[in-house]
Amino acid sequence: MAKRKKRFILYFIKLFAGIAVAIISGYFVYNYFSNPDDIFYPGFEISVPSGYPIHGIDVSKYQNTINWKQVKNMKVNNVTIDFVFIKATEGVGNIDNQFRRNWLQAQEQHICKGAYHFFIAGKDGKRQAANFIELVDLKKGDLPPVLDIEKTYGVGADELVKEINDWLTVVKNFYGVKPIIYTNIKFYETYLQNDFGEYPLWIAHYLQPAKPSIEHPWAFWQHSKSGRVNGISNVVDFNVFSGDSSEFKKLLIQ
């Protein structure tokens, strides 16, 4: 009887110990993956091009919940996150579900911010512009609005140019500033450079050591899509500005 009672007690001790270990382990796993406060990296884990004094990132809902204080405080070899482009809208009715939080908290950390719209070719350009304008309140010191255009979705060049022009015109007239165009080199040279060459360009070109391989002047260069930043659980795009701080200030909304 005594041995049976002893085994019974040991059984429950092991059971409760197992439950405790599971709870504690689950707590740490949950926090690691869900709490950006616990996301720290020794470096950006990418090659950052030299010769550029102003660096930034761009984010959307795919970066999940961001701890902007950690983003602001990260510094690697004198490189800090000086600006951020935040996804706001897509197409005629979609809103990025992290935009409002990202917009407010980046501002609270005094990180220069801008908003971008992901353009869906084949959808009405004016309605897409209205979607962006309804959500995004740009103020003095913000970056100009951005049109992200990367795909034709089978739309012909003439229709594509018309709808892009409609978006750019409506947004430019509303905010009183010329929007920035984001795209890749091939798309820009194929569809955009002949009609929209006067707009500031944010160009994507990866794995280049010094600058993107494009002759047209550019304002921003997205040089990597796999950087790491404290406070962000997923990889993030990295960018540089082409000029110095005085040129950067001139680009901002006055």
Q: Which of 111, 21, 19 is nearest to 73 (CA)?
A: 111
Token digits of residue 69: 């204080």
Which segments of the chain does DSSP mark as H helices, in order? 2-34, 68-73, 99-108, 125-135, 157-175, 185-187, 193-196, 245-251
Our answer to whether residue 134 is catalytic in this structure is no
Catalytic residue among 58, 96, 163, 237: 58
Catalytic residue among 38, 134, 137, 150: 150
Query: Half-sphere exposure (CA, 13 Å, Cβ side) for 91?
Result: 8
Residue reference for tokens 């600006």:
83
Token digits of residue 61: 């809902």
Our answer to whether residue 150 is catalytic in this structure is yes
Phi then psi dihedrals of residue 228, to 5 deg: -125, 135
Token digits of residue 114: 């801008």
Other C-beta atoms lying within 10 Å of the C-beta of residue 240: 23
Token digits of residue 173: 């007239």
Residues recognised as catalytic: 58, 150
